[in-house]
Structure 1
Amino acid sequence: CKNGGLIGPFYLEHVRGGVFKDINPEDEDAQPTEIESLCMNCYETGKTRLLLTKIPFFREIIISSFTCSQCHWTNTEIQSAGRIQEQGVSYTLKLKSKEDMNREVVKTDSATTRILELDFEIPAFTQKGSLSTIEGLLDRAVAGLEQDQPIRRATDPDVANKLDQFIQRLKKLKDVEEEFTLIIDDPSGNSFIENPFAPQKDQALSVSHYKRTPEQNAALGIQDYEPEQDDKPANDLETMRNEVLVFNTNCPECNSPASTNMKLVQIPHFKEVIIMATNCDSCGHRTNEVKSGGATEELGTRITLHLTDPADMSRDLLKSETCSVLIPELEFELGMAALGGKFTTLEGLLKDIKELIVTKNPFTCGDSATTDTAEKLEVFGKKIDKIIAGQMDVHIILDDPAGNSYLQNIYAPDPDPEMNLEKYTRTFEQNEDLGLNDMKTEGYGKTEN
């Protein structure tokens, strides 16, 4: 550890006491802790300041700042203190103007950074985590490349000259004279790139979630889980329908031990789903998630509902984790994997969207907040309230390439005059997102002669 190896023991000693505080400038108790640490530059005694805090809608983090009064060497970094997410995340950003340089970025030490046009990559675990901007990310990369240039010029001038040319190309990117592509791929799922147009969709930024490979799990220190074998049949669905299964887990808020209940439920006129609910006795946090109990459908499903009556808010709704939610009148799109799978009502979904975009948005509070962003999100929240109250004429679109989402037809078994159900063939990109292009279901295990 660059700060003398003290962060780990300090964290393990104090995290049990719940010292992670919400970001609040008026909280006098949320003060950094100072620890004497070994300077790795001059090997004298320096000072490390630690602040354990929570970023709303993000994670618990440890912010550390080291300074040495002897050689004046400094080092700052950010470490995620939360749990590793269930899926990895990849952000692809097309930078077209200098304003894009101001986008805020959370980059963990497990994230890989790439710039496609320069064929440049910063591998995972070669830099400490940071909270900065795109410009700060480039400055940090330039500083790392320039660090050993004096030695290279003396020992290998040709390599030093080539590296100087590359550094100049990297510096020119900050002027954004030409469009370039930045990719941040984080298997832990804890990195983030700001969307300055929230709650509208950012046309220049695409976000995808993926299942980690065994190699990525090993790099993150995650051990494979092998379920215990018992005498129950593995495919005894009748038993599972009449039984609530309970398994141990950790609370996503306070990380205390909790229990998750799981049950198979049959939705009328639809299919079987798996409902999972977690209730934490320590902090009172509650969460629920729904997953489809069947296979991926042959065709995707697009459900369009025209809201004409406040009674529509009570319609039952199943949103799978592969489903996108669109409100064309608000130019709003909620991508797949956001909010996860949910079995709720239409009103419950809209309230969850408002909470996600307005209440728990990390860029509406603290130093990241801007008046323009806060005003746009406040207007968006008021429009959601009007939709719930039946004061806006809008359409709600549920687009699920996997075909596992559902919206209640209150006229069933007759057709619903305000709802349109469309089946469509998935594109290659949608099959790629669902992992179907590389899936082999016929002749599996056979070898060719």
Structure 2
Amino acid sequence: MSVIAEENVRGGSVFKEISADDEDNQPTEIESLCMNCYQNGMTRILLTKIPFFKEIIISSFTCPNCSWSNTEIQSAGRIQDQGITYTLNVKSKQDMNREVVKADSATTRIPELDFEIPPYTQKGSLSTIEGLLDRAVAGLEQDQPLRNATAPEVAVKINEFIDKLKKLKEGESGFTLVIDDPSGNSFVENPFAPQKDEALSVSHYKRTPQQDAQLGIKAEDEEEKPSNDIDSMRNEVLTFNTNCPECNAPASTNMKLVQIPHFKEVIIMATNCDDCGHRTNEVKSGGATEELGTKITLHLTDLSDMSRDLLKSETCSILIPELEFELGMAAVGGKFTTLEGLLKDIKDLIVSKNPFTCGDSSTSDRTEKLKLFGQKIDKIMAGDMDVHIVLDDPAGNSYLQNVYAPDPDPEMTTEKYTRTFEQNEDLGLNDMKTEGYQE
């Protein structure tokens, strides 16, 4: 870690982009003990950058004496603002080939077998679903000789359970795979991108104080600081220190409470990095969750629609029915931008920043499909494609400018609806008690 700190002080970075032509970005070799035969082997460590994962540390160990090998991957980037849960219904043999990034802090569960791999019991890995099952089987089989000698009954039950895992790997029956990562740095591949994957559901959540303590963000006994008075925030810009999401250098974030005409108050946060020049902004609602959800549908009929102001909260989903495209809540965070700016963000997220469009993860069919999707987004921004944009926000905190105000907009409809139980669950409203909570 001292080497990393020294490089950052000098303004450089030990994390280099992946490139076959970069002779400087070579792995560091360290002689280390083999935990299989207890003789010396070789560990190779590479600090690099790959799409989506930002900075990572890849380590690989090989032993020339017993041929035992092991690989690990660790995130060296920042912890995400929210935790993430992936729920995948594995129905076919093809699903076993989905690529999975599992961080150290992630919990892996298979509800049908009442099976769970707790966090921090395995190192982070870049694998497939089949690889996760193989790793679980290998872990259970590791101590079986000892169990056969000391606890035969337990060994028999574990053998039965191992057989169940192997049957799942062979695709004899479907099952549900749940990966819950409070750090937000795990990932499950969507092979149908940019279309929605019906078998995969992704949900973001706010971490508990206990999860923050596990991740080292704050101590368990740390008390919450009293919030600032809202009235004092309206006329000032608050600044607090943070780290750049791109280069991890110290940066500052500015926060301001702004009133949007004919709507409500929002909090705008902007981060500027003087080291690498990266800039980012995010918008969060400054008010309460509305009693009803809001669904805004705009029919794009003119190029001037691209300049409409738009507020997308982090709970808002985006749909383009003509492209069979749906972007779930929190995917691009809260945004206060124009319609054109939102479409550019969607294109960057799906096409440019997709980790499965480059390297060993990419396939020609997938790359061509995503390239075609990007061309369709370009046509929409150029006004050459007749589509509808749908903003569906169950919290009711999103907004799209009506250019005909105060008259109704003939190309835009706004629908208020009652949230479902599942939507209230995602927003954390089902367990929220506002009356009689002292009883």
TM-score, normalised relative to structure 2: 0.95
CA distance in structure 2 between the aligned counterparts of 1:275 and 1:83, rounded to whole angstroms:
21
After superposition, give the CA deviation of every residue in 1:59-79 in whole Å (9 maximum; x if it has no partner).
311000112233433221111
Distance 1:228-1:299 versus aligned 2 partners, 3 A rule: closer
| 1:244 and 2:237 correspond | yes
From 406, 410, 425, the counterpart of 1:413: 406
* Alpha-carbon distance in structure 2 between the residues aligned to 1:109 and 1:397: 37
Alignment correspondent of 2:157: 162
> Once the two structures are superposed, what CA deviation does each residue of 1:118-166 show, in whole Å capped at 9, x if it has no partner?
1111111111110000111111111111111112222222221221111
Q: Secondary structure at the match of 1:54?
A: strand
SS at match of 2:351: helix
Correspondent of 1:85 among 80, 84, 87: 80
What is the one-letter code of the residue matched to 2:264? K
SS at match of 1:93: strand
Please say if 1:137 is aligned against 2:135. no
The aligned residue for residue 199 of structure 2 is 204
Deviation, structure 1 residue 228: 6.7
Classify the secondary structure of the residue corresponding to 1:377: helix
1:181 matched to which residue of 2?
A: 176
Contact 1:89 1:210 in 2 (8 A): yes
**Map of 1:111 onto structure 2:** 106
CA distance in 2, matches of 1:348, 1:310: 13
Q: CA offset at residue 178 of structure 1? A: 1.7
Q: Conserved in 2, the CA contact under 8 Å of 1:22 and 1:56?
A: no
Q: Distance in 1 between matches of 2:7 and 2:85?
A: 32
Alignment partner, residue 53 of structure 1: 48
Match of 2:28 in 1: 33
Q: Quote how far apart the aligned CAs of 1:243 are.
A: 1.3
Q: 1:175 to 1:263 in 2, by over 3 A?
A: same
Cα distance between partner residues in 2 of 1:425 and 1:46: 62
Mapped partners of 1:37, 1:14: distance in 2:
25
Asked if the contact 1:41/1:73 (under 8 Å) is kept, the reply is yes
8 A contact 2:8–2:249 mirrored in 1: no
Q: 1:437 aligns with which of 423, 427, 430?
A: 430
Residue-by-residue CA offset, 1:343-372 (whole Å, 9 max, x unaligned): 000000000000000011000001101001
CA distance in 1 between partners of 2:167 and 2:134 (Å):
11
* C-alpha distance in structure 1 between counterparts of 2:133 and 2:111, whole Å: 14
Which residue is equivalent to 1:66? 61
Measure how far apart 1:185 and its partner are: 0.6
**Residues 37-67 of structure 1: per-residue CA shift (max 9 Å, x gap):** 2333444332110111112122311000112
Task: Name 1:384's counterpart in structure 2.
Answer: 377
State the 1:220 CA deviation.
1.4
**Using the alignment, how far apart are the partners of 2:5 and 2:40 within structure 1?**
23
Please state whether the residue corresponding to 2:202 is helix, strand or coil: strand
**CA–CA distance in structure 2, aligned partners of residues 27 and 202 of structure 1:** 37
Secondary structure of residue in 1 paired with 2:159: helix
The alpha-carbon deviation at position 322 of structure 1 amounts to 0.3
Q: Distance in 2 between matches of 1:193 and 1:398?
A: 25
* In the alignment, structure 1 residue 310 sits paired with structure 2 residue 300: no
Q: Is the 8 A contact 1:23 1:366 kept in 2?
A: no
Q: Tell me the equivalent position of 1:353.
A: 346
SS of 1:379's partner is helix
* Secondary structure at 1:411 match in 2: coil
CA 327–60 in structure 1, closer or farther in 2 if over 3 Å, else same: same
Provide Cα deviations, 1:218-275, integer angstroms capped at 9, x if missing partner.
221221576777xxx94352x4222111111111111111111111111111111111
**Share of identical aligned residues, percent?**
79
Specify which of 279, 286, 289 is matched with residue 286 of structure 1.
279
Listed as ranges, the gaps of 5+ residues in structure 1 are 1-7
User: What secondary structure sits across from 1:50 in the alignment?
Assistant: strand
What corresponds to 1:324 in structure 2?
317
Superposition deviation, residue 83 in structure 1: 1.1
- 2:123 is matched with 128
| Whole-angstrom distance in 2 between the partners of 1:10 and 1:93 | 40
Cα distance per residue 1:68-117 (max 9 Å; x no partner): 23343322111111111111111000011100011000001111111111
Q: Secondary structure at the match of 1:195?
A: coil
Of 422, 425, 431 in structure 1, the residue corresponding to residue 418 of structure 2 is 425
Q: Note the C-alpha offset of 1:12.
A: 5.3
1:235 paired with 2:229, answer yes
Deviation at 1:179, TM superposition (A): 1.4
CA change 1:116–1:419 in 2 (3 A) is same
Please, what is the CA RMSD of the aligned residues? 1.7
SS at match of 1:105: strand
Return the TM-score normalized by structure 1.
Answer: 0.93
Question: How many residues get paired?
Answer: 435
Looking at structure 2, the residues matched to 22 and 227 of structure 1 have their Cα atoms a distance apart, in angstroms, of 39
Partner SS, residue 142 of structure 1: helix
Cα distance between partner residues in 2 of 1:14 and 1:76? 26
